[in-house]
């Protein structure tokens, strides 16, 4: 990652809290001109420090049923598992992880029955040894 100074880190923190913060507001908070702030943001984008801007939705019980699913698998099947997860709309994030499991995914389904069906589907994929799930009860806070 590129060398980031205190102003860069402050800009990133402000954008993480609200990616829609106007450039003029960001400039005031970091005590730079609007054009200097825009140049910094453009540089951070060019360097890949900022990969994109997104929308986070408010979380309510009606939003869906979320769970973290941990998957242990044969390493040679990792690319097939990743592709299978990429095409499932219920899978919101997929991470490789260290430790007892090889992959951790965040899923959102309509309810426990849909989660059960998804887990069955994952369990039938080639190379999957086992899964373990943790249902999300509440989101206390979330960052970018």
- 55 located within any domain: no
CATH number at residue 20: 1.10.10.10
Distances (CA, A) of 26 to 12, 20, 21: 10, 10, 7
For residues 40 and 93, membership in a common domain is answered with no
pLDDT of residue 57: 59
For residues 31 and 76, membership in a common domain is answered with no
For residues 130 and 70, membership in a common domain is answered with yes
- 127 located within any domain: yes
Q: Which DSSP symbol is given to 137?
A: -
CATH number at residue 127: 3.30.70.920
What's the whole-model pTM score? 0.62
Range of the domain at 118: 63-135
pLDDT of residue 62: 54
For residues 124 and 72, membership in a common domain is answered with yes
pLDDT of residue 63: 60
For residues 28 and 69, membership in a common domain is answered with no
- 79 located within any domain: yes
Three-state SS at 32: coil
Distance CA 95, CA 107 (A): 12
Q: Which DSSP symbol is given to 126?
A: T
- The answer to whether the CB of 106 falls within 8 A of the CB of 92 is yes
- 54 located within any domain: no
For residues 101 and 76, membership in a common domain is answered with yes
- The answer to whether the CB of 7 falls within 8 A of the CB of 40 is yes
pLDDT of residue 60: 52
Three-state SS at 118: helix
pLDDT of residue 104: 97
Structure tokens at 30: 């970091």
Considering only CA atoms, which of 71, 56, 79 is closest in space to residue 124? Answer: 71
Give the count of beta carbons closer than 10 Å to the beta carbon of residue 74: 12
- 109 located within any domain: yes
Distance CA 83, CA 79 (A): 6
The count of structural domains within the chain is: 2
pLDDT of residue 16: 84
Give the pLDDT of the chain (144 residues) as one tens digit per residue: 558 899 998 999 888 888 889 999 999 999 999 999 999 999 999 988 898 887 765 555 456 789 999 999 998 999 999 999 999 989 999 999 999 999 999 999 988 999 999 999 999 999 999 999 999 988 888 765
- 1 located within any domain: no
């Amino acid at each position: 990652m590129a060398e980031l100074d205190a102003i860069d880190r402050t800009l990133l923190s402000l954008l993480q809290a609200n990616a829609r913060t106007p450039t003029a507001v960001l400039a005031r908070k970091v005590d730079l001109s609007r054009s200097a702030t825009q140049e910094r943001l453009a540089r951070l984008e060019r360097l890949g420090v900022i990969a994109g801007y997104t929308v986070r939705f408010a979380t309510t019980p009606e939003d869906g049923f979320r769970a973290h699913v941990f998957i242990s698998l044969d390493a040679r099947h990792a690319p097939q598992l990743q592709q299978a997860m990429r095409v499932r709309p219920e899978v919101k994030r997929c991470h490789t992880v260290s430790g007892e499991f090889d992959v951790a995914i965040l899923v959102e389904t309509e309810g426990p029955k849909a989660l059960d069906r998804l887990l069955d589907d994952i369990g039938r994929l080639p190379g999957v040894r086992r899964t373990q799930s943790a249902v999300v009860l509440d989101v206390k806070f979330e960052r970018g």
